[in-house]
């Protein structure tokens, strides 16, 4: 059994060699990806309790019927099973440079097991890197398809920043935020994974064929559906649980109230993963869903450093955020109240300044000469007044209060 991009992890069974127990299990799971819809928890329970090989045998033979479905539903599954050709699917996959990995195999990402009976039966993988290794340090970036220019910019910037920090960017390959995230990671020379809701040999959307091909060449394209299978609305929804489970955390860049990106975020929350949101204008409907997340348990993030601080190892801290350092910030603490005691216009006597600064006359005089040497005050006869430089500094300081 091989795990490279051309042989596939089902190599023995697919090539006609005697299939051992592992090969039979893999072939049975390939069969089931053609019969069972992604995320079907009833079928997942069957596989857990009976094993994939036994489930396939019953579906092929038409019974005895397994529990948890109606007779009509069972008949529908058996009809699908009659059309399944796992050896053919594997041959088509191999020709497209696609391999099939499943639970228990070396490349299987263990974090997907957190989905329980909704765990994928297996994943079709296109690309050379190890999915398990890449998933260990990955972050999902998702958002609106019809995103704004702001959303596309934030997605690309976040992805590039994460890629530069050694993180794998995972998204769904769709238009809008997904595409911007993939391009941002690729543009930074980083790693990215596209999780599709269709066969990985048939990129969707078609307008992203070139992008998904590039991802397959430099990263990974992953999906639950067998070669040639098409996407449906329900398959997009179920695809999102894989994105959430595969990664350490999910960042939603832009999302309306009914966005599919929120499905990914809520799945991440249920799985105990980090959930993050990028704020947008309060008046933007495309940020309304993100803001609703932020009112709950999601964390607000604005750049890659803040994302890495949440999902990364201990010590991966974002820098402290603060405004620009002004000349007035560099004054000795004792000189600040003396400067503040001078009026914005006109002059003041030493006595008035000392009283305003709650200090002695001698201390006020010493501080005034210190401030004069720095260009903040000037003497006029028996009084003191602010220079133009000081007036700008004082105004800036008050603006920050």
Whole-number mean pLDDT of the chain?
89
Mark whether 79 and 208 lie in a shared domain.
no
Mark whether 307 and 335 lie in a shared domain.
no
pLDDT tens-digit readout, 59-91: 999 879 999 999 999 999 999 999 999 999 999
319 found inside a domain = no
Distance, in Å, from the CA atom of 243 to the CA atom of 171, rounded to the nearest integer, reads 7
In CATH, what number is assigned to the domain containing residue 343? 1.10.10.10
The whole-number average pLDDT for the span 153-178 is 97
232 found inside a domain = yes
Q: Is the pLDDT of residue 326 over 80?
A: no
In CATH, what number is assigned to the domain containing residue 266? 3.40.50.450
Q: What is the DSSP string of 308-336?
A: HHHHS-TT-PPPPP--PPPGGGGS-TTHH
Q: How confident is the model at residue 43 (pLDDT cuts 50, 70, 90)?
A: very high
Q: Residue 194: enclosing H or E segment and its boundaries? A: strand 192-196
Higher pLDDT, 316 or 28: 28
Positive or negative, the Cα torsion across 171, 172, 177, 180?
A: positive
Q: How confident is the model at residue 42 (pLDDT cuts 50, 70, 90)?
A: very high
How many Cβ atoms are within 10 Å of 283's Cβ, its own excluded?
7
Domain range enclosing 75: 11-95
How many Cβ atoms are within 10 Å of 348's Cβ, its own excluded?
18
Q: Is the pLDDT of residue 327 over 70?
A: no
Residue 2 has what pLDDT? 35
117 found inside a domain = no
Last residue of a domain, one of 257, 281, 311: 311
Last residue of a domain, one of 38, 73, 95: 95
Residue 322 has what pLDDT? 65
Mark whether 286 and 344 lie in a shared domain.
no
Q: What are phi and psi of 276, to 5 degrees?
A: -130, 155
Q: Is the pLDDT of residue 110 over 50?
A: yes
158 found inside a domain = yes
Q: Is the pLDDT of residue 6 over 60?
A: no
Counting the structural domains of the chain, the total is 3
The whole-number average pLDDT for the span 207-229 is 96
- Identify any residues that bridge with 349 across adjacent strands, giving them in sequence order: 383
Q: How far is CA 398 from the centre of its chain?
A: 39
Mark whether 331 and 302 lie in a shared domain.
no
Enter the tokens of residue 75.
């008949």
196 found inside a domain = yes
234 found inside a domain = yes
> For strand 123-126 and strand 138-142, is the pairing parallel, antiparallel, or unpaired?
unpaired
122, 98 Cβ separation under 8 angstroms = no
Mark whether 234 and 292 lie in a shared domain.
yes
Mark whether 217 and 301 lie in a shared domain.
yes
């Amino acid at each position: 059994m091989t795990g490279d991009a051309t042989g596939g992890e089902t190599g023995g069974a697919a090539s006609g060699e005697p299939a051992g127990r592992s090969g039979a299990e893999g072939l049975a799971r390939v069969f089931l990806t053609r019969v069972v819809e992604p995320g079907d928890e009833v079928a997942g329970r069957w596989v857990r309790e009976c094993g994939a090989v036994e489930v396939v045998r019953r579906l092929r033979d038409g019974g005895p019927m397994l529990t948890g479905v109606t007779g009509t539903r069972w008949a529908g599954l058996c009809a699908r099973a009659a059309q399944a050709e796992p050896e053919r699917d594997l041959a088509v996959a191999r020709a497209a440079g696609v391999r099939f990995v499943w639970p228990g195999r070396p490349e299987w990402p263990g974090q997907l097991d957190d989905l329980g009976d909704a765990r994928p039966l297996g994943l079709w993988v296109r690309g050379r890197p190890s999915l398990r290794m890449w998933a260990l340090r990955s972050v999902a970036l998702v958002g609106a398809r019809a995103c704004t220019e702001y959303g596309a910019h934030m997605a690309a910037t976040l992805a590039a920043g994460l890629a530069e920090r050694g993180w794998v960017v995972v998204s769904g390959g769709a238009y809008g935020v997904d595409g911007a995230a993939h391009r941002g990671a690729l543009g930074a020379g980083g790693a990215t994974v596209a999780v599709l809701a269709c066969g990985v040999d048939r990129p969707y959307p078609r307008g992203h064929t070139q992008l998904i091909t590039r991802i397959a060449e430099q990263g990974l394209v992953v999906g639950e559906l067998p070669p040639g299978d098409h996407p449906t609305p329900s398959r997009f929804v179920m695809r999102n649980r894989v994105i959430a489970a595969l990664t350490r955390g999910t960042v939603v860049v832009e999302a309306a109230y009914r966005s599919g990106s929120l499905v990914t975020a809520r799945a991440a929350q249920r799985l105990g993963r980090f959930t993050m949101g990028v704020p947008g204008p309060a008046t933007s409907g495309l940020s309304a869903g993100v803001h609703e997340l932020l009112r709950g348990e999601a964390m607000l993030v604005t750049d890659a450093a803040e994302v890495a601080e949440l999902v990364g190892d201990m010590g991966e801290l974002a820098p402290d955020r603060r405004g620009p350092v002004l000349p007035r910030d560099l004054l000795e603490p004792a000189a600040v109240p003396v400067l503040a005691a001078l009026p914005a216009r006109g002059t003041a006597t030493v006595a008035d300044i000392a009283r305003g600064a709650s200090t002695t006359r001698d201390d006020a005089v010493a501080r005034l000469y210190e401030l004069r040497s720095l260009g903040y005050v000037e003497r006029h006869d028996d009084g003191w007044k602010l220079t133009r430089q000081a007036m700008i500094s004082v105004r800036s300081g008050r603006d920050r209060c």
